[in-house]
Amino acid sequence: MENLRLFTSTYCPYCERVKLVMENKGITGVEIINIDTDPDMRDYLIEKGGKKQVPCLFISDQAMYESQDIINYLESHC
């Protein structure tokens, strides 16, 4: 499996939706990073992804935004 990192924030309903689907489907192996508690990773998200938008799933070094796109990817690849 590729290196998967999910960037989230504390009060994001779309992030919670993605995490709930992951929990309900038993999807593991995804590193979850909260940009509210890790400023270095927030800076990384902005630098590599081009914006501060969450949720953002990094598949290796490719950023994927939009919660439904992330859910679809995780359901079909994990």
34-43: pLDDT as tens digits: 999 999 999 9
Is the pLDDT assigned to residue 2 strictly greater than 80?
Answer: no
Fold exhibited by the domain 4-77: Glutaredoxin (3.40.30)
N-to-C CA span, the chain: 8
Sketch the domain layout of the chain as residue ranges.
4-77
Q: So what's the pLDDT on residue 1?
A: 55
Q: Tens of pLDDT along 5-64?
A: 999 999 999 999 999 999 999 999 999 999 999 999 999 999 999 999 999 999 988 999
Q: Are 34 and 16 in contact (CB under 8 A)?
A: no
